[in-house]
């Protein structure tokens, strides 16, 4: 997304250029743990960091999330987009992304964000460690540990750091998770699985 488009969308969403916008792209379900990001935004703001959250999606936990924003007096700092057919412009409008899930297999949302040059702070579950090299293209944090989540998000409030790590995230996606790479991996795996077992001395 070009910078002018990014500025326009951020303005439409109520964000200024100075805001540190942390996105999360996931259906608002209990296991996705959006409330933890709300808590993190409140803590970051107490540290003097102009953090705001963009929750891309909708779902059953919306009421609970909105209640938590009011409880912490950050209702003006958390925006919920509702369901979107194309989440890419909204991810591009963010400065960094977070995934606070209690459970996750291998997050395609994380791969999509990385492809859009966004560093991610991801709970250390499922396949997160396969895609994130801490300190290079994002960070991992122990499931449920809001203090560590806040510490890592605070590092990414530095836009130069965020930009560098976002570029590294894109490079990793291209190198390890591009369509061509994945097809080649599956082809090799199938060839190995289908290769007939050869007894010693047989041709």
The per-residue DSSP string of 19-41 comes to: SEEEEEES---GGG-HHHHHHHH
In contact, 114 and 131? CB cutoff 8 Å: yes
- Name the nearest CA neighbour of 79 among 146, 11, 133: 11
In the prediction, which pLDDT does 203 show? 44
In the prediction, which pLDDT does 195 show? 67
CATH number of 3-194: 3.40.50.2000
By three-state DSSP, how is residue 56 classified? strand
Distances (CA, A) of 83 to 56, 59, 152, 174: 7, 8, 28, 28
Residue ranges of domains in the chain: 3-194
In the prediction, which pLDDT does 180 show? 59
In the prediction, which pLDDT does 83 show? 94
d(CA 22, CA 19): 9
Q: Which stretches of the chain drop beneath a pLDDT of 70?
A: 1-2, 178-192, 195-203
Q: In what order do the strands lie in the sheet with 138-141?
A: 78-80, 51-56, 20-25, 96-99, 120-123, 138-141
In the prediction, which pLDDT does 199 show? 46
In the prediction, which pLDDT does 13 show? 96
In contact, 74 and 40? CB cutoff 8 Å: no
């Amino acid at each position: 997304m070009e910078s002018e488009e990014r500025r326009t969308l951020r303005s439409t969403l109520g964000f200024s250029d100075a805001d540190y916008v942390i996105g999360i792209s996931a259906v608002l379900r209990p296991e996705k743990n959006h409330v933890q990001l709300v808590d993190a935004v409140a803590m970051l703001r107490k540290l003097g960091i102009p953090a705001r959250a963009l929750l891309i999606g909708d779902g059953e936990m919306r009421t609970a999330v909105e209640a938590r924003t009011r409880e912490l007096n950050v209702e003006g700092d958390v925006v919920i987009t509702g369901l979107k057919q194309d989440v890419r412009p909204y991810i591009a409008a963010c400065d960094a992304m977070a995934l606070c899930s209690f459970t996750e297999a291998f997050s395609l949302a994380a791969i999509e964000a990385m492809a859009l040059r966004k560093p991610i702070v991801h709970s250390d579950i499922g396949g997160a460690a396969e895609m994130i090299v801490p300190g290079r293209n994002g960070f991992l944090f122990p499931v449920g540990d809001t203090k560590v989540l806040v510490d890592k998000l605070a590092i990414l409030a530095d836009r130069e750091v965020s930009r560098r790590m976002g570029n590294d995230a894109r490079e990793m996606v291209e190198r390890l998770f591009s369509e061509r790479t994945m097809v080649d991996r599956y082809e090799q795996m199938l060839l190995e699985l289908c290769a007939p077992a050869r007894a010693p001395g047989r041709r």
